[in-house]
Amino acid sequence: MSFPLEPLLMLGANRVWRTYQGGQVLDCIEGKEVPQDSHFPEDWIGSLTAAKNPGRAQAEEGISQVTRSNGESVLLTDLFSTDPAYYLGEQHYGAFGLDTRILVKFLDSAIRLHFQVHPTAAFSKKFLGCTSGKTEAYVILAIRDGIENPYIYAGFQRPPERGQLKTWIEKQDIDSIEACFDKIPVKTGDVFLIPGGYPHALGEGILMVELMEASDLAVRFEFERGGYVLPEESRFLGRDLGFALTVFDHSPVGMERFQCHPELIRQFPDGSEQRLVIGKQHTHCFSARETIVKNKISKEESGFYIGIVTDGCGRITVGDRSWDLHPYDRYFVAASCGVTTLESQEGLRILECVPPDLEN
């Protein structure tokens, strides 16, 4: 089956079942009449990655569907497979095949997430037969009303001995595990990078964009949250606890290891600018930049990316087609798109999520 080439794809909701609760804010974004928290706290954006949810029958869960210009709905994998070099770029496709190498999500937590840790790419390649780990980044968009001290846990500040951690996990002594961490305070606009190997947990009441390597690999060493008990196959990457413990980085670390500070990389004549949010100094797994539109700009990027409107309204134009942009709109820009024009009368902020640099 062939489809006309689409240089820009507006992306709709793609909610994915998870083991924790949240999603009320995502319901509001989608305009649902009765927003509520549920087991669908995430929205996977422009995703070619399937979710790992043992016991659920939805084989394609996690993979995005898009509505083409003629109104037809199609899986993103099917659309990209018709001309992957056009959508992903010849070099990217030659290096990685039909794999964007990034997974981008909205995440809206109603409760603290499970304590968990993800493998590095090197660990995944050596032990899991997978070329991606799960280094991840958080871009904090909003905090729920009533949450006075939003936080994340990241890395052990007081690392336990491996044998002690094993005992605590077996007994589910969560108080002792939690005592190994300090709460890292977060606010709207903060950016954090959590490399593979570092244990972590996201606190309650946080809406964020999560950008990560394109996998759903996790060691979840806390088995129950919000009344839901993880099945055994969802805990230790399908292995045993001894294997899972080899994923952990036990180095003592502080907040400065994880927080990213955006830097100016480009200014436009109208006062608009681009900032590097996540760069090579943080990780080689992906990058992110923020484009801040004051009036009207035209730009052309070197590869594909996923754009997310984080603030303001405006318009994006490619060739003779234009799309209105509103807060939380998201879109995929093909590698062969060419020039895009962005304009706004009130200011527009767009987070642009970018795959790994092939020069790395």
Q: Is 350 in contact with 290 (CB distance < 8 Å)? A: yes
- Encoding tokens for residue 238? 């399908």
Look up tokens 């002690």; give the residue: 164
- Encoding tokens for residue 180? 């190994």
* Structural domains in the chain, sorted by start: 8-259 (2.60.120.10), 262-354 (2.60.120.10)
- H-helix or E-strand containing 340? strand 340-343
| pLDDT of amino acid 315 | 97
| Count of other CB atoms within 10 angstroms of residue 55 | 8
| pLDDT of amino acid 269 | 93
Q: Is 326 in contact with 263 (CB distance < 8 Å)? A: no
N residues, the chain:
360
Residues sharing a CB contact under 8 Å with residue 5, sequence separation 6 or more, in sequence order = 83, 86, 334, 336
Q: Is 127 exposed, middle or buried (0-12, 13-18, 19+ CB in 10 A)?
A: middle
Please list, residue by residue across 266-276, b when 16 or more beta carbons sit within 10 angstroms of its beta carbon and e when fewer do.
eebeeebbbbb
DSSP 8-class letter at 359: T
- In angstroms, the CA 172 to CA 114 distance is 12
Paired with 350 in beta bridges are 291, 309
- In angstroms, the CA 280 to CA 283 distance is 5
- In angstroms, the CA 331 to CA 69 distance is 13
- In angstroms, the CA 340 to CA 82 distance is 23
**CA neighbor of 332 nearest in space, from 356, 301, 359, 286:** 301
Q: Is 348 in contact with 296 (CB distance < 8 Å)? A: no
Averaged in consecutive runs of 10 residues, what is the pLDDT profile of the chain (360 residues)?
A: 82 95 98 97 96 78 86 90 96 95 98 97 94 96 96 98 97 98 97 98 98 94 96 93 96 94 95 96 96 96 97 96 97 97 94 86
- In angstroms, the CA 154 to CA 299 distance is 36
- In angstroms, the CA 177 to CA 175 distance is 5
- In angstroms, the CA 212 to CA 118 distance is 11
| pLDDT of amino acid 54 | 79
Residues sharing a CB contact under 8 Å with residue 252, sequence separation 6 or more, in sequence order = 155, 156, 157, 158, 159
| pLDDT of amino acid 55 | 73
